[in-house]
């Protein structure tokens, strides 16, 4: 028995050293997330109308530590709770923001200035074609332009002679007729160039254009966006006679549509203009939009109705083809006092929030009522106007539990 006493003493010393080592390791971890190095403290707090004392539990944090922990603050105030129908859906491109860059003449692809994924601006040149058809049209226009200028000069001369009664009336009428015909042929040649895709600026520059460039035709983007498809390669013959006519597909994803299927039981509650909140598992953010279309038809197989909502997508998070969940607001309920859903934590079955104080954050038990996916009604335990932690409250909960363990 006496020989075993040194072993017991040695085990006790090793256990005390291990406990000290673990405490030293946890302290730097708390400092890494920006939380206070000293444990939460408890101070007596007298409750109104009661003789017993309650304890106010505070997690001490400085303003710098709150910023480092990315804890955002919010004020407890009244608001509304939304009644929503949750339905599955999919993101699709906005039908008015898709452009197919097609050719209007026969030719071959001489240049491709954009590839898949490139951004393009409206009226930017995306390809160059070489075509005998466009060369003939440009030549006809230049010839008609030259003939028109000559006939107009001859008409002005004959008109001046007729006014002085130097020439005959027959000569004046013949000159006027030829000038009108020349102007008409010029306008026809001009319209052909417009039909082939030339702009007013390009047509005006034709008289000064080098002859080798007359057979080349620039193809421009009709909208701004990104190249989603490229359907031709260099040297590809395009145009009529069953040849490929599309060069690119350009999509503008600054706005997208969400297509959802609504069951017959929910359809009477759905109206154009209703608010929609879109979420997805792979995307942490939420998007908000409005219903813009409700199909008058019911799908024969699924017995559901197609509903389309429009979303802003300036950040590019919502890609066409992504599966989402759409929350359609069908009603609202006012509440006297509410807090964000992320502000509430649960400890031993008790709902709590963290109220901002001069020392840090006070743990405050509350009684909750109704809720939606964004807000929770507070029935008691909190006063309107009090400032609470709205995000990253799990860090405060972890610090509170850690402090409780240290005190035990």
pLDDT of residue 196: 87
pLDDT of residue 104: 82
pLDDT of residue 325: 92
Distances from the Cα of 243 to the Cα of 102, 155, 205, angstroms: 12, 47, 30
- Please report whether residue 7 resides in a domain: no
Q: Are 196 and 104 within one domain?
A: yes
Task: Give the pair of three-digit tokens for residue 340.
Answer: 């964000």
The model's pLDDT over 264-276, given as tens digits with 9 standing for 90+, comes to 988 999 999 999 9
Give residue 407's pLDDT band: very low, low, confident or very high (50, 70, 90).
low
**Domain boundary residue, one of 251, 284, 316:** 251
pLDDT of residue 10: 46
- The alpha carbons of the chain give a radius of gyration, in whole angstroms, of 38
pLDDT of residue 156: 92
- Please report whether residue 11 resides in a domain: no
Q: Are 240 and 274 within one domain?
A: no
- Please report whether residue 375 resides in a domain: yes
CA distance 224 to 99: 9
Domain that holds residue 362: 35-81+335-407
Give residue for tokens 């999919």. Answer: 90
Q: Are 135 and 222 within one domain?
A: yes
pLDDT of residue 45: 44
- Please report whether residue 21 resides in a domain: no
CATH number of the domain that residue 367 is part of: 2.40.420.20
**Domain boundary residue, one of 287, 303, 333:** 333
CATH number of the domain that residue 301 is part of: 2.40.30.170
Q: Is 183 buried (19+), middle (13-18) or exposed (0-12) by CB count in 10 A?
A: middle
CATH number of the domain that residue 103 is part of: 2.40.50.100
Pairing verdict, β 237-238 and 107-112:
antiparallel
The model's pLDDT over 168-223, given as tens digits with 9 standing for 90+, comes to 888 889 999 999 999 999 999 999 999 888 888 889 999 988 888 889 988 999 99
Which residues does 132 contact at the CB level (< 8 Å), separation at least 6?
A: 106, 107, 215
Distances from the Cα of 57 to the Cα of 38, 60, 217, 238, 359, angstroms: 13, 10, 77, 77, 11
Give residue for tokens 């042929």. Answer: 185
CA distance 372 to 399: 28
pLDDT above 70 coverage of the chain, percent: 85
Q: Are 310 and 182 within one domain?
A: no
- Residue 204 and residue 181 in contact, taking contact as beta carbons nearer than 8 Å: no
- Please report whether residue 108 resides in a domain: yes
Give residue 250's pLDDT band: very low, low, confident or very high (50, 70, 90).
very high
Average pLDDT over residues 381-403: 87
The model's pLDDT over 359-372, given as tens digits with 9 standing for 90+, comes to 888 899 999 998 87
Average pLDDT over residues 29-48: 44
Domains in the chain: how many in total?
A: 3
Average pLDDT over residues 116-142: 92
**Domain boundary residue, one of 217, 251, 285:** 251
Least confident of 6-20, 249-263, 309-323, 354-368: 6-20
Q: Are 148 and 239 within one domain?
A: yes
Q: Are 105 and 244 within one domain?
A: yes
Name the most confidently modeled range: 31-35, 41-45, 289-293, 348-352.
Answer: 289-293
Q: Are 240 and 143 within one domain?
A: yes
Give residue for tokens 């001069």. Answer: 358
Q: Are 361 and 392 within one domain?
A: yes
pLDDT of residue 191: 94
- Please report whether residue 14 resides in a domain: no
Q: Are 315 and 368 within one domain?
A: no
User: Residue 74 pLDDT more than 50?
Assistant: yes
Give residue 116's pLDDT band: very low, low, confident or very high (50, 70, 90).
very high
Least confident of 44-53, 85-94, 135-144, 382-391: 44-53
Which residues lie across from 53 on neighbouring strands?
A: 46
What are the phi and psi torsion angles at 224 (to 5°)? -85, 150
- Residue 132 and residue 138 in contact, taking contact as beta carbons nearer than 8 Å: no
What are the phi and psi torsion angles at 27 (to 5°)? -65, -45
Average pLDDT over residues 62-87: 86
Give residue 39's pLDDT band: very low, low, confident or very high (50, 70, 90).
very low
pLDDT of residue 316: 86
- Please report whether residue 24 resides in a domain: no
- Residue 25 and residue 324 in contact, taking contact as beta carbons nearer than 8 Å: no
b/e map of 22-35 (b: 16 or more CB within 10 Å)? eeeeeeeebeeebb
pLDDT of residue 55: 67
Q: Are 209 and 118 within one domain?
A: yes
Mean pLDDT of the chain: 83
Q: Are 319 and 355 within one domain?
A: no
Average pLDDT over residues 377-398: 89
- Please report whether residue 149 resides in a domain: yes
Task: Give the pair of three-digit tokens for residue 353.
Answer: 């929030």
Q: Are 182 and 108 within one domain?
A: yes
User: Residue 406 pLDDT more than 80?
Assistant: no
User: Residue 300 pLDDT more than 80?
Assistant: yes
Q: Is 270 buried (19+), middle (13-18) or exposed (0-12) by CB count in 10 A?
A: middle
Give residue 25's pLDDT band: very low, low, confident or very high (50, 70, 90).
very low
């Amino acid at each position: 028995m006496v020989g075993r006493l040194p072993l017991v003493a040695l085990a006790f010393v090793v256990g005390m050293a291990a406990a000290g080592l673990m405490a030293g390791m946890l302290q730097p971890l708390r400092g890494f997330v920006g939380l206070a190095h000293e444990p939460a403290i408890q101070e007596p707090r007298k409750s109104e109308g009661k003789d017993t004392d309650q304890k106010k539990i505070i997690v001490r944090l400085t303003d710098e530590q709150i910023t480092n922990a990315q804890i955002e603050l919010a004020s407890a105030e009244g608001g509304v709770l939304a009644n929503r129908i949750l339905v599955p859906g999919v993101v699709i491109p906005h039908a008015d923001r898709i452009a197919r860059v097609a050719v209007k003449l026969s030719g071959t692809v001489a240049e491709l200035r954009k590839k898949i994924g490139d951004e393009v601006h409206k009226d930017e040149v995306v390809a160059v074609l070489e075509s005998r058809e466009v060369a003939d049209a440009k030549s006809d226009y230049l010839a008609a332009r030259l003939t028109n200028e000559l006939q107009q000069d001859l008409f002005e001369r004959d008109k001046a002679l007729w006014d002085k009664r130097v020439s005959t009336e027959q000569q004046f009428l013949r000159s006027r007729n030829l000038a009108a015909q020349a102007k008409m042929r010029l306008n026809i040649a001009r319209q052909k160039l417009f039909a082939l895709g030339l702009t007013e600026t390009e047509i005006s520059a034709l008289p000064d254009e080098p002859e080798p460039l007359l057979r080349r035709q620039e193809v421009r983007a009709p909208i701004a966006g990104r190249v989603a498809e490229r359907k031709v390669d260099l040297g590809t013959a395009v145009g009529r006679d069953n040849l490929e006519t599309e060069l690119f597909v350009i999509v503008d994803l600054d706005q997208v549509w969400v297509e959802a299927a609504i069951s017959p039981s929910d359809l009477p509650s759905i109206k154009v203009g209703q608010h929609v909140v879109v979420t997805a598992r792979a995307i942490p953010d939420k998007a908000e939009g409005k219903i813009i279309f409700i199909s008058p038809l019911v799908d024969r197989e699924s017995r559901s109705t197609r509903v389309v909502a429009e979303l802003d997508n300036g950040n590019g998070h919502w890609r066409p083809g992504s599966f989402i969940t759409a929350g359609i607001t069908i009603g609202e309920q006012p509440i006297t006092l509410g807090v964000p859903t992320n502000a509430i934590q649960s400890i031993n079955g008790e709902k709590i929030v963290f109220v901002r104080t001069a020392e840090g954050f006070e743990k405050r038990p509350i009684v909750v009522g109704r809720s939606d996916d964004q807000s929770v009604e507070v029935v008691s335990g909190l006063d309107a106007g009090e400032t609470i932690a709205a995000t990253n409250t799990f860090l405060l909960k972890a610090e509170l539990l850690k402090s409780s363990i240290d005190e035990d």
